[in-house]
Amino acid sequence: MSSNVAAFNINHYQFLDPSGQLIGANHPAIARDFDRLTEFYELMTLTRTFDKKAIALQRTGKLGTYASCLGHEAAQVAIGATMREEDCFAPMYREYGAQLYRGVKMSEILAYWGGDERGNDFSGPKHDFAWCVPIATQCLHAAGAAMAFKLRNEQRAAVSVVGDGGSSKGDFLEAINAASAWKLPLVLIIMNNQWAISVPRSKQNSAQTLAQKGIAGGLPSIQVDGNDLIACHWAMEKALERARSGQGASVIEMVTYRLSDHTTADDARRYRDNEEVDKAWEREPLKRLRAWLEASDAWNEDKQQALEADCVNRVNEAVEEYLALGYPGNEGMFDYMFAQLPHDLQAQREQALRELPAQPEGHH
Amino acid sequence: MANLTLVEAVTQALAWELEHDDSVVVLGEDVGINGGVFRATNGLQQRFGDQRVIDTPLAEVMIAGMSIGMAAQGMKPVAEAQFMGFIYPMLDHMICHAARMRHRTRGRLHCPMVLRAPFGGGIHAPEHHSESTEALFAHIPGLRVVIPSSPLRAYGLLLAAIRDPDPVVFLEPKRIYRQYKEEVPDDGEELPLDVCYVLRDGTDITLVTWGAMVKETLQAAEQLAAQGVSAEVIDVATIKPLDTETIIESVAKTGRCVIVHEAARTGGMGAEIAAQLADAGLWHLHAPVKRVTGYDSVMPLYKMEMQYMPSVQRILNAVSEVLEVS
């Protein structure tokens, strides 16, 4: 004899379809809050303008390897817009839209990818984690932050983002497990952009969704259209409210598409068809939000042109600021290693400052 | 004043900090009601509650990663790896995050955590329970590595490790967890995290060691004394940063040095100490520096483990080789 002891389902949510039509019933209030939607659209546009410029800087030798966020703008801005200042963000390495909303400066993002640790001492919330390159480790840092908030009875949530590739890592699964065991105020977002460098989503595993990994840990888990700002915003608000009110963690799979190469060091033409990318462009997030705003008389071509000009200006200013940052100074290799520099490192510091040129050759 | 074993001194230090600093939490597998598999956290959960002494799911990566997250947000987690053999999944987090958080954020965030683990052989434990791989951590910029070898030093060094604003790997030599008791005043007094301890003064040779090997090294020194050889014994205690000054000062006096450690030889901390001596103490030396260490072979299962680890006799052999050089 057997009986069903557990069952699950994963719902997919979409409110704004690729053509910019509001679909279904019971739309969240944000769908008609045009002031805020306009604000989000403007930041999404700024994010994309910045991204394009960063790639151009890399191509002209003014920036190191850079990870583009092209196509992720709606999801990222929704994350940034729904979090509060006191919440804690543990990003991976391309969540610029969320970080710009939280006050990180474009010049700081450029500084980091431009090989300068000072970019990590950013203007966003001081408690936010820095960019996280090793894949999925940030999920556990967010879980630890959530644990700290819970132990101190603070009404704060931690939010982390992992990719479809990162969702295969133990760190992500251990974060789900921990969040479940301790009912942590945590939101784990799987930014499913279909590609982990050259490995497609279908090769990560054969489950119908990535969201259902959260179900295994007992967390409410949903999938949303990650190119639909309204759906992402709605899902984040719900998950954050749940976290802050002590009900525990959630998993949100945001289904989007990496329209760019993995980084500027990658060439996606080696492993994916242009046809697939062209199709993905039809679903991209800015176009549909603009269409919805225009259909609602909240946006027009004049505003668009003014916005684009403004974004270019702001990005150019950020680039100037970045290029003017200068060399950090050799002591920067040592001075932040420990609160108090141990004697052996002190000796190495003295030697380095004595024998190294003040700047590496060719620095400009 | 309590008469304590080394492991009891660990418990006493944890209790002191839990009592005096609300941001301190102890976490790990079985550290709660069970008091840890070696009883290092004995009674702490009963005394401080399960919000301060936290049993975790069985997931080492999670313990390390969450400790880093908590530390970055103002807490002082003291995490336990149940055995050093289970610490390796944590390396990613310790190396890629704990060790570099302060540096890579220009001090915006830092990571005041302690990772404790019992280590070393000699207790007839199963496979993976007996290795000494302290050099792995000592190699990583941004970590401190501390190994106490007495109840008093376990207490004072652990207090300092918890209070230190940067990550500390605190390795406890489990073979001498209960070797002897000594008076350990529960006064909250910490010890510095960057000095060696001269355990025995001598003039003919310097024996440098740490952890459980302090026991055999002191026994060797005792036997040498009976033969008229005066051996100075140094307990390194803080593997990183290394107090080379104390070691070189001693060698300046004795002119001879033997380094004793349980860990495998190649790339072990003995190599670093020998290199420091070659660099800054060469003209004091009357003889080559010798190392008595574990072999560069896999730590054997327990039938053979005592053969693997440096014995008093092997230390004496090395000493007589070094003394023969005139």
Give residue for tokens 């119908």: A208
And the tokens for B169? 């790997």
**What pairs with residue A195 in β-bridges?**
A200
Q: Report, as an integer, the average pLDDT of B295-313.
A: 97
Indicate the pLDDT class of residue A363, thresholds 50, 70 and 90. Answer: low
pLDDT at A90: 98
Using an 8 Å Cβ cutoff, are B38 and B78 in contact? no
Three-state DSSP state, A200: strand
> What does DSSP say about strands A221-225 and A250-255: parallel, antiparallel, or unpaired?
parallel
DSSP string, B229-283: --EEEEE--EEES--HHHHHHHHHHHS-EEEEEEEESTTSHHHHHHHHHHHHSGG
For chain A, helix (H) and strand (E) counts, in that order, are 12, 8
pLDDT at A364 over 60: no
Question: What are A8-66's pLDDT values in tens digits?
Answer: 999 999 999 999 999 998 999 999 999 999 999 999 999 999 999 999 999 999 999 99
Domains of chain B: 2-184 (3.40.50.970), 197-324 (3.40.50.920)
Q: Are B243 and B151 in contact (CB under 8 A)?
A: no
**B57, B104, B165 member nearest A178 (Cβ):** B57
Q: What is the pLDDT of residue A251?
A: 98
Determine the distance from the C-alpha atom of residue B243 to the mean position of all C-alpha atoms in its chain, rounded to a whole number.
14
Would you call A230 helix, strand, or coil by DSSP?
helix
Instruction: Note the pLDDT of residue A295.
Output: 98
A172 touches B at CB < 8 Å: no
d(CA A101, CA A40): 9
A92: chain B residues, CB-CB within 8 Å: none
pTM for the model stands at: 0.97
Query: Choosing among B21, B100, B106, B140, which should be mutated to test the A contact, i.e. which has the most A CBs within 10 A?
Result: B106
- Residue B11 in contact with residue B41, Cβ under 8 Å? yes
Longest Cα separation, chain A: 79
Q: Which of B51, B69, B105 sits opposite A144 (nearest CB)?
A: B69
- CATH 3.40.50.970 intervals, chain A: 12-323
Rg (CA), chain A: 22
**Nearest-CA neighbor of A114 among A49, A62, A53?**
A62
pLDDT in tens, B25-39: 999 999 999 999 999
Catalytic amino acids of B? 129
Which chain B residues have a beta carbon less than 8 Å from that of A174? 57, 59, 61-62, 65
Instruction: Answer yes or no: are the C-beta atoms of A162 and A190 closer than 8 Å.
Output: yes
Cβ atoms of B132 and B119 within 8 Å: the answer is yes
Chain A residues with CB inside 8 Å of B67's CB?
A: 144
Band (B167; pLDDT cuts 50, 70, 90): very high
Q: pLDDT digits over A225-268, tens only?
A: 999 999 999 999 999 999 999 999 999 999 999 999 999 999 99
What is the Cα–Cα distance from B70 to B78, expressed in whole angstroms?
10
CA A215 to chain centre: 23
Tell me which amino acid residue A349 is: R
Long-range contacts of B56-59 (CB under 8 A, 24+ apart): B56/A178, B56/A181, B56/B27, B56/B28, B56/B29, B56/B31, B57/A174, B57/A177, B57/A178, B57/A181, B58/B29, B59/A174, B59/A177, B59/A178
Residues B103, A90: C-beta atoms closer than 8 Å = no
Q: Radius of gyration of chain B from Cα atoms? A: 19
Whole-number Å distance between alpha carbons of B310 and B124:
16
- For chain B, say whether A175 makes contact (Cβ under 8 Å): yes
| Chain A residues touching B96 at Cβ < 8 A | 133-134, 137
Give me chain A's average pLDDT, please.
97
List the strands of the sheet with B231-235, edge to edge.
Answer: B197-200, B231-235, B205-209, B257-264, B290-294
Q: Which of A133, A338, A343 sits opposite B166 (nearest CB)?
A: A338
Nearest to A325, CA basis, from B38, B106, B225, B205 = B106
DSSP B281-325: SGGG-SS--EEEEE-SSPPPPTTTHHHHS--HHHHHHHHHHHHH-
Report whether B208 contacts B260 (CB < 8 A).
yes
H or E segment and range at residue A274:
helix A274-281
- Ramachandran area for residue B65 (φ above 0: left; ψ -120 to 50: alpha; else beta): alpha
B51 CA: distance to closest CA in chain A (Å): 7
HSE-up of B222 (CA within 13 Å, CB side)? 7
Tokens of A97: 């839209």
Confirm if A226 and A74 have CB atoms less than 8 A apart: yes
Nearest to A141 among B97, B165, B241 (CB): B97
- Bridge partners (DSSP) listed for residue B1: none
| pLDDT of B326 | 77
> What does the alpha-carbon distance between residue A337 and residue B147 come to, in Å, rounded to a whole number?
21
DSSP per position, A116-135: -GGGGS-SS-TTS-----SS
Q: Give the C-alpha distances (Å, rounded to integers) separating A9 from A12, A15, A212, B50, B83.
A: 10, 19, 8, 34, 40
Share of chain B above pLDDT 90, in %: 99
Whole-angstrom distance, CA of residue B85 vs CA of residue A302: 65
- pLDDT, average across residues B295-321: 97
Q: What is the pLDDT of residue A361?
A: 82
Please say if the pLDDT value at position B277 is more than 80.
yes
Q: Which residue has the tokens 């990719």?
A: A163
Q: What is the CATH number of domain A12-323?
A: 3.40.50.970
Contacts of residue A181 in chain B, CB cutoff 8 Å? Answer: 56-57
C-alpha span between B148 and B7 (Å, rounded): 10
Residue B121 DSSP label: S
| Type of residue found at B196 | C
**pLDDT mean across residues, chain B:** 97
CB pairs under 8 A between A and B: 136
Report residue B295 CA to chain centroid gap: 19
Burial (CB count <10 Å: 0-12, 13-18, 19+), residue A291? middle
List the single best residue of A112, A122, A140, A325 to mutate versus B (max B Cβ within 10 A).
Answer: A140
Indicate the pLDDT class of residue B141, thresholds 50, 70 and 90.
very high
CB A172 within 8 Å of CB A188: yes
Is B97 in CB contact (< 8 Å) with chain A? yes
Q: Tokens in use for A230?
A: 């309204």
**Residue A26: count of CB within 10 angstroms of its CB:** 6
Strands laid side by side in the A158-163 sheet: A12-13, A221-225, A250-255, A186-192, A158-163, A88-90
Our CA-based measurement puts residue B283 at a distance from the nearest CA of chain A, in whole angstroms, of 21
Tell me the mean pLDDT in the region B33-53. 98
Q: Which of B81, B207, B68 is nearest to B133 (CA)?
A: B81
By the CB < 8 Å criterion, does A5 face chain B? no
